[in-house]
Amino acid sequence: MAAKKKSYSVIIIYSIAALCWIALHAYILYSFGFNWQIAVVDSKLNNVLIGIAAYIMFNTLRFYQPSQKNLVYLFEWSIILSVAIIFIFRWIMRWIFISNDEYMQFLQHTILLRFAFVLLMVSCVNLLIWLWYNFKTQKKSDARKTEAEKLAREAELFNLRQQLQPHFLFNSLNSISALAGSQPEQARKMIQQLSDFLRGTLKKDEQQFSTLEKELLHLGLYLEIEKVRFGHRLKTEIITDEQTNKMQLPSLLLQPIVENAIKFGLYDSVGEVLIRIKISAEENYLKIEIQNPFDTVTVTAQKGTGFGLSSVQRRLFLLFSRNDLLKTESIENIFSTTIKIPQL
């Protein structure tokens, strides 16, 4: 509705401008000593013909727009149209004012000048129409591009969220298989936990953000399962602050980081491993630090932080356009991964 209103006002402004132009044209002729009737008819006819030419071009260019290299076509069309305009103009004016010798002579003398002038006008109008169309196509393709980028980004985010390590799943199922023989009650409990965990993973695909409280609940399920798998070797400690409970973070972001810490910690040591998760609010950020011990001697061999962290990094970048939200550091034999989530 608003767009339509706007286009109406544009049409009114252009119409007024055209009328002024016709009036000016007529006034010039009048000042040459012709009477008003001749001046107005001459001006009107001339400009109406230019208007028709513009209308023809407007419709032609809708279907075919020469590329920048072929702009010479535009000029050729302008010449053809201008010749046609002058020809028709002269023919009609002769037909009306054949008896007015003075005007006929004037027409004859100024015909070349008129042609040059019409050509200039038509060329300018054509060029403007062409630019307008070009601008419109450009805008359309830009919109398409943004749309495509948005879709690709969403698909990538979806994939990054979906990442569940199949090894985790198969090893957990193997543990359940072992429990089913000796401790059926425990097996049933673990199936329940695994189901809840998987359901949480699937459900959260729909939304991008979730509260820390919910995420910690989900992470708890994961840690319970891992503790059954690794037995007494895996110890965890979560230090959290009441005020962070309702803070927002991307859903399912924590689990891959903790998984990475567990893998890194457990496969680098034969003893007990403590995974520590510290959560705090810091200005406008939710800060989560995940620590695992490692062996300083063999760590160079385990270079890199693995796929887990690079996908977290990528996700944070896609969501916040920032690369500084994930940091890792090693102090003595403790490896820490810190993420900072901006609170919007």
Partner 1 sequence: MIRCLIIDDEPLARSLVKEYLQSHKNIELLQECGDGFEGLKAIQQHQPDLIFLDIQMPKITGFELLELIEEPPAIIFTTAFDEYAMKAFEAHAIDYLLKPFSKERFDKAISKWISQHENSSSKKGAEELMKNLSPQHEEQNRVVVKTGNQIRIIPVTEICYIEACDDYVKIHTASEVFMKKKTMSFFENSLNEKDFVRAHRSYIIQLSQITRIELMEKESYSALLKSGVKIPLSKTGYSKMKEVLGI
Give contact residues for partner 1 (rule: CB under 8 A).
Answer: 166-167, 170-171, 173-179, 181-182, 228-231, 266-270, 297-298, 300-303
Between 111 and 191, CB nearer to partner 1: 191
CB of 270 to partner 1, least distance (A): 5
Nearer to partner 1, 149 or 272 (CB): 272
For residue 304, what are its two tokens?
A: 């890199």
In the complex with partner 1, which residue's Cβ is closer, 192 or 245? 192
Q: What six digits make up the tokens of 1?
A: 């509705």
Q: Widest CA span of the chain, in angstroms?
A: 121
CA 119/CA 113 separation, integer angstroms: 10
- What minimum distance in Å lies between the beta carbon of 174 and partner 1? 4
Smaller CB distance to partner 1: residue 215 or 268? 268
Task: Report in angstroms how near the CB of residue 67 gets to partner 1 at its nearest.
Answer: 44
Least separation in angstroms between residue 196's CB and partner 1 is 20
44: Cβ–Cβ under 8 A, 6 or more apart, which residues? Answer: 22, 26
Nearer to partner 1, 70 or 195 (CB): 195
Please give the structure tokens belonging to residue 45. Answer: 């006819």
Which H or E run contains 75? Answer: helix 71-97
CB of 178 to partner 1, least distance (A): 4
- 101-162 and 36-63 helices, crossing angle to 10°: 30
* Residue in this structure with the two tokens 């400009």, named with its chain if needed: 47
Cβ proximity to partner 1, 9 vs 177, nearer residue = 177
Give the residue among 250, 298, 294 at the shortest CA–CA distance from 271: 294
Handedness of CA 248, 249, 254, 255 (dihedral sign): positive
Residue 180 CB, shortest distance to partner 1, in Å, is: 9
Least separation in angstroms between residue 252's CB and partner 1 is: 21
Residue closer to partner 1, measured from CB, 181 or 331: 181
Structure tokens at 201: 């993973």
Residue 290: is it exposed, middle or buried by C-beta count within 10 angstroms (0-12/13-18/19+)? buried
